[in-house]
Chain A
């Protein structure tokens, strides 16, 4: 009877099912595409409504991400520390992850966060090897990388500072707590580091009894070397016999505790280097021999005098509060923030963070005649109760304040800047963009305390040293971000206080009102 074949209905239905499915699939694709599109940098908008703007990154940090051609990846290698620091570790990790989430949300296309599962040891090891950080065998690090450049942030050093408290139960117990959390600063610093051009080259002089750059003994510089490499420097020893002239691409020359005089050729090379705008970290040993062509002699040319003797200060017994002199520990100086130059790039972050620097067996720096147009700034200084302990005839120190010894305070480190004494037409200063006039200056940091660079105390001075090298290399990676902790609003929880009102309103008032209105409304509807 029907005019059409019996299958028409079925085919129509199949066709419609197909249509619906196709439309649904297309819609799903569109739904996935829209957020993707919305993440594109030009279309992406973020408005932070919170009072403290704690939900977003500093615009400067986001701008840093714009520099990169390929997305920046942050690889997270977290493992919870063992008790009693588990809780504080978890807090730092959670806050870091939360920060990364915010960072990723702020720049979704330019930042990739990969959170590694440290339970999978083999994969993680392999990944660390790929990232060339395996040698550090690190956990709780963030590796920020783009292309083949990377920076490593240690969770409990760069990202946060943890007050370990007093883990011993009983009297004096104090839980560990997060003292400073500065994920954004650390992250921004890392970004700056890996976005900078060629890694600056640092040469460590050798052949005069200097500290060994690769040495692992307590006074050697192995850890400094590692830290420098991780911070984006190329650090190599300078063998003057093989390479009498300092290459043009060297930015910083480090002279750490040479025990013997330099040869005139070496001195010439160093002078030429500095006069062209080179940078020098000079760490003459306070007990090193003095005389012509020594480092002591050399720094005098730049306006820093290193008088003999060790700077000492009385040690305070933490229990009896008594001051002790005459012990060797008096020469082990702990410099608090009051001994730091608040404004100088080398010490500013330390000063802000209320941190300490430890200088064992340090000499003093006195102001000499600075090269014309130069400035000398005392970066670190000792307290007023310090003195300069002089050796006796046999060269021994007694670590006590005697007559004839000079009382403090002393400058313990000096930063000297002066214009390069080279004609403007000459080759530009090494490692510095030729057109940035303000960077065309020579910089010398005199720190007569080579032990501060050594393995043993490296952790205590790590930031100071990295700051110093970064300042010398004109790398200002220490980003300061205004603290944006969420605003606080606290209610009085005491009995009969605000809390009772809150309970009355939230737990009884609103539901009760809702119920009442509902019942009344229903009755009214039914009545008429």
Chain B
């Protein structure tokens, strides 16, 4: 449905989009993910034909965006980030205007306006002035405007930016519904909504597509390997490592060292082996403190990609680029946008120490209070994870220091 080939766009000396190629099949819902300033909006504008590419081309439904511009525009519903609406018009007037632009008949326009307003939940505010609507309502009206011509392709630029969480959920739900019917391309710098809606994600960093795949694929192939974390009182750590390593499905076991009287292990595996690990612990009589299934999230991955490919400040905050971690991005970038199966060497690192960017010595110790009532209130290095975070599968909402999360 959408084919972008070698899209490049320069603004003067600055290259906003650099040789981006991708393809969307009809009915696909794709998230366009990237930090602010990564070239998402520029790419979307090129897709809609608003901006011509410096080089490269876009075809939508087999039509060249620049040469058959009008035909393409008829097939696209585009909601720019600014949600352009005439403030002095009423909601239904704005929609009528859009209907006229698309050449809809009067009756057809009225029917569709009613339907589309119902859909975005704005039917009761049809006579309200656009200028008096709240940001979330305006966003929904914008969506209604984009939906009105019943386009084959829906391109939404940051549809949830500036919304409060409640509105965000509403809009996300709405998009989720739409996604069932048409090809949708959503750009965002916020992961959860992409994750929630899009089966496929394109990650753009500094004008280049660095990753393309389903969130699961991306996570599996790009992120830290999933593991079962075990924290227990272990008499012989080496024996424990050996024992855990014998479990079926375990690729490796990392000894993460001693925490007080407890010892921490990461059992790297693709499947949830908590029961097996728990059984081992029980059979050996290890006093369990934590047993959790840790799956790297897309967010973690995204933050890593963004940071590692980001400008200098990322490098400054990340003083240990020596390990294979940077090649993740570089390899991706060098090989162009691609499916991640061919990605870099760190995709499945045998040793967990490999991708760790922050050495424990280099981070100054910081004091935090442990909220665990059973703990004795000892202070510890923040760099060392303590299992106060829930660590549930995919439940990592706090985001943040992906790089610092895994000390050796």
Direct contact of A and B (CB under 8 A): yes
Q: Which residues of A contact B (CB under 8 A)?
A: 1-4, 8-9, 12, 525-526, 528
Closest residue to A12 on the B side, CB-wise?
B54
Q: Lowest 8 CB-CB distances: which A-B pairs, in order?
A: A9-B10, A9-B54, A528-B127, A12-B54, A4-B55, A2-B19, A3-B19, A8-B55
Query: Other than the known A1-B208, A1-B333, what 18 A-B pairs have Cβ atoms closer than 8 Å?
Result: A1-B18, A1-B19, A2-B8, A2-B15, A2-B18, A2-B19, A3-B6, A3-B19, A4-B8, A4-B55, A8-B54, A8-B55, A9-B12, A9-B54, A12-B54, A12-B55, A525-B129, A526-B129
Closest residue to A1 on the B side, CB-wise?
B18
List B127-142 residues whose CB lies under 8 Å from chain A. 127, 129
**Docked CA distance A528–B129 (Å):** 9
CB distance from A7 to the nearest CB of B (A): 10
Interface residues in B, total, Cβ within 8 A: 14
List B31-65 residues whose CB lies under 8 Å from chain A. 54-55
Contacts of A8 in B (CB 8 A): 10, 54-55
CB distance from B87 to the nearest CB of A (A): 12
CB distance from A494 to the nearest CB of B (A): 48
CB distance from B401 to the nearest CB of A (A): 30
Contacts of A525 in B (CB 8 A): 88, 129
Closest residue to B132 on the A side, CB-wise?
A526
CB distance from A282 to the nearest CB of B (A): 87
Best-surrounded residue of A8, A9, A525 (most CB of chain B within 10 A): A9
Closest residue to B89 on the A side, CB-wise?
A525
Contacts of B54 in A (CB 8 A): 8-9, 12
Contacts of B12 in A (CB 8 A): 9
**Docked CA distance A3–B127 (Å):** 52
CB distance from A4 to the nearest CB of B (A): 6
CB distance from A359 to the nearest CB of B (A): 83
Best-surrounded residue of B55, B129, B208, B333 (most CB of chain A within 10 A): B55
**Docked CA distance A525–B6 (Å):** 49
Contacts of A2 in B (CB 8 A): 8, 15, 18-19
**Docked CA distance A525–B90 (Å):** 9
**Docked CA distance A8–B6 (Å):** 14
Per-residue contact bits, chain B 1-20, to A (CB 8 Å; 1 contact, 0 not): 00000101010100100110
Contacts of A528 in B (CB 8 A): 127
9 contacts between A and B (CB under 8 A): A1-B19, A1-B208, A2-B19, A4-B8, A4-B55, A9-B12, A12-B55, A525-B129, A526-B129
**Docked CA distance A525–B15 (Å):** 46
**Docked CA distance A4–B7 (Å):** 12
**Docked CA distance A2–B207 (Å):** 11
Contacts of A9 in B (CB 8 A): 10, 12, 15, 54
Per-residue contact bits, chain B 100-129, to A (CB 8 Å; 1 contact, 0 not): 000000000000000000000000000101
CB distance from A215 to the nearest CB of B (A): 86
**Docked CA distance A470–B355 (Å):** 115
**Docked CA distance A129–B55 (Å):** 68
CB distance from B86 to the nearest CB of A (A): 13
CB distance from A165 to the nearest CB of B (A): 63
Contacts of B19 in A (CB 8 A): 1-3
**Docked CA distance A12–B8 (Å):** 12
**Docked CA distance A4–B10 (Å):** 12
**Docked CA distance A2–B54 (Å):** 12
CB distance from A519 to the nearest CB of B (A): 16
Best-surrounded residue of B6, B18, B54 (most CB of chain A within 10 A): B54
Closest residue to A3 on the B side, CB-wise?
B19
Closest residue to B54 on the A side, CB-wise?
A9
CB distance from B124 to the nearest CB of A (A): 13
**Docked CA distance A3–B54 (Å):** 12
Closest residue to A16 on the B side, CB-wise?
B52
**Docked CA distance A8–B18 (Å):** 13
List B80-108 residues whose CB lies under 8 Å from chain A. 88
Closest residue to A526 on the B side, CB-wise?
B129
Contacts of B55 in A (CB 8 A): 4, 8, 12
CB distance from A83 to the nearest CB of B (A): 60
Contacts of A526 in B (CB 8 A): 129
Contacts of B129 in A (CB 8 A): 525-526
Contacts of A12 in B (CB 8 A): 54-55
Contacts of A1 in B (CB 8 A): 18-19, 208, 333
Best-surrounded residue of A1, A8, A12 (most CB of chain B within 10 A): A1
**Docked CA distance A8–B54 (Å):** 8
Contacts of A3 in B (CB 8 A): 6, 19
Contacts of B6 in A (CB 8 A): 3
**Docked CA distance A385–B54 (Å):** 102
**Docked CA distance A165–B12 (Å):** 76
CB distance from B88 to the nearest CB of A (A): 8
Contacts of B10 in A (CB 8 A): 8-9
List B288-337 residues whose CB lies under 8 Å from chain A. 333
CB distance from A14 to the nearest CB of B (A): 12
Contacts of B333 in A (CB 8 A): 1
CB distance from B269 to the nearest CB of A (A): 37
**Docked CA distance A528–B128 (Å):** 7
**Docked CA distance A455–B169 (Å):** 108
**Docked CA distance A525–B127 (Å):** 10
**Docked CA distance A68–B369 (Å):** 108
**Docked CA distance A157–B12 (Å):** 71
CB distance from B92 to the nearest CB of A (A): 12
CB distance from A317 to the nearest CB of B (A): 84
Contacts of B8 in A (CB 8 A): 2, 4
CB distance from B11 to the nearest CB of A (A): 8
**Docked CA distance A21–B377 (Å):** 75
CB distance from B46 to the nearest CB of A (A): 14
**Docked CA distance A8–B8 (Å):** 10
CB distance from B178 to the nearest CB of A (A): 30
